[in-house]
Structure 1
Amino acid sequence: MSIGGMPLNSYRFRSVWPVESPPGDVFDVLADLGGYPHWWPEVRSARQVGEHAAELCCRSVLPYDLVFEARHHTREPRFLKAELAGDLFGTASWRIEPAGEGTRLVYEQEVTVGKPLLRRLALVGRPLLKANHELMMRSGHRGLRTYLAGFRAARRG
């Protein structure tokens, strides 16, 4: 079963986050996969598994963990893209665009859920999974803005 040609257990997400920090600082924070738990509450843990790779464990409102490896294969000053493998398969990317004194981030994710329980619940659980993702993204945006404010202050100090 599919929606618009996509299997029910596949998702495309896009979020735009304005932040009040320069692109270089934002890149430094986003490129450090092992540091995501410092600013994104739903990223419960990160274990570095390579120079540009980490195993992440994420949990939002719904009572399940998603564990996957994120491996950056593109690391350019204005663009990061990671391959995901584990409970999620696919890609996640950050486009980092200057915006006045700050930065405009565009996060895009295209994934297939591999976790067996979530695959079985794809038809009835899809709206809940999408809402869960939206809550996680809002929280991540707040956390990143707060973290970057401290990051900026530490660099000045």
Structure 2
Amino acid sequence: MSAGDFVFHHEWSLPGPPGPVVEALADIEHYPTWWPQVRQVHRIDDHSGRAVVRSVLPLTLRLVLTRETEDREGGRLGVRIDGDLVGWAGWSIDTADAAGERTVAVFDQQVRVAAPWSGAATLAPWVLRANHAWMMRQGRRGLARQLVSRRR
């Protein structure tokens, strides 16, 4: 793996049963309503869309996301990523407790930085990792708030 390659793994503990979590995570077009760093998502066709992502760093990612896995009943979602990043990302969603009151959403991603600024990834990969971790924490908080507000 080169310095511009990244592997991420995050586990989100979320309120409620898996069904609404799967629905929210499958609905990529509405990520900007609850995930502030996902600035825009525009549908290309039934299986793909363009996303604009920007976190703390002054770097804007322009991505094309193409659905590869959508097993809502099994809690498995996955996309191929092209553009400023190249690789894949996926979610595995399941009940976290016997009562069904909590859900765990596991995010895995493997990407290579392909953006014109990719040299920065080799100079300070720890900065990009910290930025990604912060962005993921913000996404978990936003989705948790949305899930709670929908239950009321």
TM-score, normalised by the number of residues in structure 1 = 0.90
What value does the CA root-mean-square deviation take over the aligned residues?
A: 1.0
Separation (CA, whole Å) in 1 of partners of 2:151 and 2:107: 22
* Matched position secondary structure for 1:61: coil
Cα shift at 1:53? 2.0
Residue 79 (structure 2) aligned to one of 79, 82, 85:
82
User: 2:92 maps to what in 1?
Assistant: 95
Cα shift at 1:151? 2.5
Ranges in structure 1 where 5+ consecutive residues have no aligned partner: 1-5
Ranges in structure 2 where 5+ consecutive residues have no aligned partner: none
User: 1:142 maps to what in 2?
Assistant: 141
Q: Does 1:46 align with 2:41?
A: yes
Alignment of 1:1-157 (within 5 A): 6-77=1-72, 78-100=75-97, 101-117=101-117, 119-153=118-152
User: Structure 1 segments of 4 or more deviating over 3 A?
Assistant: none
* Matched position secondary structure for 1:111: strand
Separation (CA, whole Å) in 2 of partners of 1:125 and 1:13: 16
Aligned-pair identity in percent equals 37
The size of the alignment, in residue pairs, is 147
Separation (CA, whole Å) in 1 of partners of 2:91 and 2:30: 16
